[in-house]
Amino acid sequence: MRLGVLDVGSNTVHLLVVDAHRGGHPTPMTSEKDELRLAENLDADGALTPAGADALVRAVAKAGAAATEAGCADVLAFATSALRDATNSAAVLARVRDETGVRLQVLPGDDEARYTFLAVRRWYGWSAGRLLVLDIGGGSLELAAGRDEHPAVAASLPLGAGRLTREWFRSDPPSRREIDALRAHLDAELAPVARRLRRAGAPELAVGTSKTFRSLARLTGAAPSSEGPRVRRALTDVGLRQLAAFITRMSAGDLAELEGVSASRAHQLVAGALVAEAAMRALQITQLEICPWALREGVILRRLDTLEGSARPPSAQTDRSAQDAPDGLGRLTSYEARCTG
């Protein structure tokens, strides 16, 4: 079947269309993005501004039309950190539904971590052993660890690269005082979660997903995207520290000139590097493998698992994102879309 995933994130509205079947490898067919930067369109009260809501409605309507034109049987539509945190989220979601027919579901942060973990597990397989997965988004940082397809520990922290840039940096490039203050904040926020993750056991493979990790790895010498998703890419703690020392002295304009850095996200790169550095330090990781699959692929894989009476996990399983059945959700279409979370 042809499936679409509509991901409304802090930076982009991204439609991914794949051909897939249960037990098969999802094959990407088309991918469309609109750079909305929703998180930068929140007012002083934390509400999405009218301009931001207008842009969101237009982007979702465009994505819905593209999904229909692509022949998607189902579209799984969800929103992450920006709408999760917006104080007028319910009103915005209702407006999107009324004006576009698309029912966006806000995905809880912990479920975001679980779906991403599932995608990483399927990519690397059982031979990878105990996994530790990190994903840096625009508004939040997701972490998960475990041996199975469903992580033993999953957490989400408000430590996204875009959020931290807005909240902690006032100069471009950021001052040494701003950088030191953010580093101290990151260490304090990560410490309790790192203890939980370490109690789950030492990882046999540590993995990073997301555009931020891919950009950092590219800047430290990993293969470019043109070489395809199956080329091994990694990010080391030594390489990351050297890179952070370099880019913290650069303006956003200069960062945008670096290979592998998109102009729209260049201003977030320093904060993203500091989050990655702090997470690796807190978790005592010296290297991260870079996985090309993440949240969107996890949502697709979980949806496929529920097709045609696929078995549910044991009742003792606490990962509610893995317990969904399609009969409880109603038909998923491009005009009545729900996330399976």
Domain range 110-296, its CATH number among 3.40.50.300, 3.40.50.970, 3.30.420.150, 3.40.50.720: 3.30.420.150
pTM across the whole model = 0.89
User: What kind and span of H or E run contains 7?
Assistant: strand 2-8
Distance of CA 90 to the CA centre of its chain: 22
> What pLDDT is recorded for position 22?
78
Q: What's the pLDDT at 315?
A: 36
Q: What is the CATH number of domain 2-107?
A: 3.30.420.40
Amino acid at 303: R
Return all residues near 79 (Cβ < 8 A) that are at least 6 apart: 8, 9, 93, 104, 105, 106, 107
Cβ-based neighbour number of residue 298 at 10 Å: 29
User: Read out DSSP for 136-164?
Assistant: E-SS-EEEEEESSSS-SEEEEES--HHHH
Higher pLDDT, 314 or 182: 182
pLDDT in tens, 275-295: 999 999 999 999 999 999 999
- Is the CB of residue 157 less than 8 Å from the CB of residue 186? no
Q: Is 94 left (phi over 0), alpha (psi -120 to 50) or beta?
A: alpha
What does the DSSP assignment read for 186-225? HHHHHHHHHHHHHHT---SEEEEESHHHHHHHHHTTPPPG
The mean predicted confidence, pLDDT, of the chain is 89
Q: Which residues fall within 8 angstroms of residue 54, CB to CB, at 6 or more apart?
A: none
- Residue 281 CB burial class (10 angstroms; 0-12, 13-18, ≥19): middle
Sequence ranges of the domains in the chain: 2-107, 110-296
When mean pLDDT is compared over 16-20, 324-328, 332-336, the highest value belongs to 16-20
Average pLDDT over residues 83-107: 95
User: Same fold for the domain at 2-107 and the one at 110-296?
Assistant: yes
Q: Nearest Cα to 8, choosing from 51, 74, 57?
A: 57
- Report the pLDDT value the prediction gives residue 308, as an integer from 0 to 100: 57
Q: Are strands 2-8 and 12-19 parallel, antiparallel or unpaired?
A: antiparallel
Least confident of 69-73, 149-153, 312-316: 312-316
Rounded CA-CA distance 123/225 in Å is 17
